[in-house]
Amino acid sequence: MNKAAIIGSGIGGIAAAIRLAVKGYAVTVFETADTFGGKMQQFWLGGYRFDAGPSLFTLPHLVDELFSLAGKKPSEYFTYVRLDPITHYFWPDGSHLKAYADAAQFAKETELQLGVPQQAVQEVLAKSARLYQGTSDTFLHKSLHRLNTYLSADVLKALGCLSDLGLTTTMHAANEQLFSDHRFVQLLDRFATYNGSDPYQAPGTLNLIPHLEHNIGAFYPKGGIYAIAESLVRLAEELGVQFRYNEAVEQIITAGAKAIGIRTAKGTFAAEVVVSNMDVVPTYRKLLTGHKAPEKTLQQPRSSSALIYYWGIKKEFPELHLHNIFFSKNYKEEFKHIFQHKTISTDPTVYVNITSKLDAADAPPGGENWFVMVNVPHNQGQDWDKLISVTRETVVRKLSAMLHTDIAPFIEVEQVLDPLLIEQKTSSFAGALYGSSSNNRMAAFLRHPNFNSSIKGLYFCGGSVHPGGGIPLCLLSAKIVGDMVPAAK
C-alpha cells in the first residue's frame, strides 16, 4: 500500500489526510505539538472556554463534503447552526446595525439605521454573488499553476465577469464609488481583513467575500469552532490515519527529483507522497535546505496578524451577540498603522466574539467568554510587550465608552495571544494569520502552488499556499492536493 506523510495537523493537513486515506493511501500525520488543530485550538481558563484561533465559519459544506467522501453521514459527526443575526456593528458616533442573515432584512435594517438605500445594499450583495460565482471555480477550486485550469470552461466564466472583477481598483475605491455613507463603506471594507489584507490596497476582486457571509451564510458549529478539527480527526482516525504528536519533521527526504519520505528526531519514514501543511516559508528554509527555494514567492508580503485578549467577563451584556465589531473612527489611518507604520493605531477596530451567547456552558452563570481581537501587523521585530499593554488600555477604554460600562472590573481571567506566540505555536512565518497578503492584484498568482514542479511527490496545503488562508480556503487547498495526487497502488 502506498504511504503518505503529512507534515502538520492544521485544518488543511487533517483534510488532506482524509482525502488521501480515501484515495487508498496509508496516511501518517506528523505534528510538532502535542495535539491536532494548529491555529484551531480551544482552552479553558477559570471556568470559561475559548476557541483560541478562528471564530467565523463559512462554507460548512466543505467540511460536510469530507464526511460524505468517506461514505459517512456528516451530521453524525458534526452539526452547526446558521447565524441570524450574523454580526452586531457599533460605530463611534453611537450608531449600530444588526447584520441579519436575510439579505432583504439586512438591507432594510441598513436603511433604517444608517440611511443607506436598501436597493443599493441589495445590489452590492448581488454584485458580490456574481463576482464569487464567476471566479471561484477558477481561482479557489483549482490550481492556478496548471495549464488545464486555463483550458477549462470556468475560465470563460471568469472572463465573463471581467468588468466586475475590480482588478484595476482597490476594494475601498470600489465601495466608495457605490456608497457615500462612510460607515457602510467601512463595513464592506472590513471583509479585506478576512484574509489579512488592507482594503486600501487589496483589489476590488475581494469584494466577493461578503457573498460568503451574507448570501450563503455564517455558521456556528455545535461545541465551538474546535469541533471542526475534533470531528475531522475522529473521521481520519476511523479511516486509519495515524497521528504522531510531539514529532516535528526535520527534513523532507528526496532522491533525485522525487520526495521519498521525511525525517524526524525519531528516524526516517518512507512515503510515496509528502504533503507539507507547515507554512511554506519554514518548509523551504528548514526542511528543504539543499533545494533551491522559490524566493520571489517566499518574499511576498505577509498578511496581518492578530492580538487577542481572552477575557472571562463576570457580567452579561445583552446588547452583544456572537460576533461584535466596534469600528474605529478613521479606518484609513488604522490600516496605515498596520501595513505602513507596522504598528497598532491608537483607535483600532475591536472584534469581540462571545460563544457563550450560543453555548451557555462556555462561561459560568452570569458571565461571558470574550475573545477580543485587534488586527495588527505581522511580526517585524516590534516591541510586543509594550504594544500589548498600551493596546489593552486602549481597548478597555474604547469598549467601556461604547458600551457605557466600565468593563475593567469585570475582567476575571485573562490570557493573551500575539504574533510571536502564533509563530512559536504553529510555525506560521512572522505570525501572519493567512500566509501572504492579498494587497496586490497579482497576489493570487504569486501564492505558492499546491505542488513543487521540481520535486515529484511533494505537495502543499494550508493557509500559506494557494488558494490562501482561512478555514474554507485551507479545506480547498487540501481538495486541490487530493485531486492532484494519483490514486494509491
Which of 301, 312, 467, 470 forms a contact with ligand FAD (CB under 6 A)? 470
- What is the 8-class DSSP label of residue 487? P
Which of 8, 85, 223, 261 forms a contact with ligand FAD (CB under 6 A)? 8
Q: Are 307 and 417 in contact (CB under 8 A)?
A: yes
CA distance 269 to 4: 10
CB atoms within 10 A of CB 258: 13
In the complex, minimum distance from the CB of residue 479 to ligand FAD, in angstroms, rounded to a whole number: 12
In the complex, minimum distance from the CB of residue 287 to ligand FAD, in angstroms, rounded to a whole number: 6
**Does 469 help bind ligand FAD (rule: CB under 6 A)?**
yes
Question: Which residue number places its CB atom closest to ligand FAD?
Answer: 10
- What is the 8-class DSSP label of residue 285? I
Would you mind telling me the total number of residues written for the chain in this entry? 489
At how many degrees (to 10) do helices 118-139 and 153-160 cross? 150
**Does 377 help bind ligand FAD (rule: CB under 6 A)?**
no
Select from 81, 53, 76, 78 the least CA-distant residue to 63: 78
Which of 4, 11, 125, 188 forms a contact with ligand FAD (CB under 6 A)? 11
- What is the 8-class DSSP label of residue 377? P
Question: What's the N-to-C CA distance of the chain in angstroms?
Answer: 6
50: enclosing H helix or E strand: strand 48-51
Binding string to ligand FAD for residues 378 to 417, with x set by CB under 6 A, is what?
----------------------------------------
Burial class (CB in 10 A: 0-12, 13-18, 19+), 155: middle
**Does 463 help bind ligand FAD (rule: CB under 6 A)?**
yes
Query: Which residue, 107 or 353, has its beta carbon nearer to ligand FAD?
Result: 353
Which of 124, 131, 249, 288 forms a contact with ligand FAD (CB under 6 A)? 249
C-alpha cell at 336: 496605515
Three-state DSSP at 301 gives coil
CA distance 145 to 128: 25
Strand ranges of the sheet holding 249-255, from the earlier edge strand across to the other edge: 249-255, 258-264, 267-270
In the complex, minimum distance from the CB of residue 18 to ligand FAD, in angstroms, rounded to a whole number: 13
Binding string to ligand FAD for residues 278 to 307, with x set by CB under 6 A, is what?
x---------------------------x-
In the complex, minimum distance from the CB of residue 239 to ligand FAD, in angstroms, rounded to a whole number: 18
In the complex, minimum distance from the CB of residue 48 to ligand FAD, in angstroms, rounded to a whole number: 17
Select from 394, 40, 395 the least CA-distant residue to 226: 40
Which of 45, 103, 248, 390 forms a contact with ligand FAD (CB under 6 A)? 248
Binding string to ligand FAD for residues 306 to 345, with x set by CB under 6 A, is what?
x-x-------------------------------------
Interface residues toward ligand FAD, by CB under 6 A: 7-13, 30-33, 38-40, 53-56, 248-249, 277-278, 306, 308, 422, 426-428, 433-434, 462-463, 469-471, 474
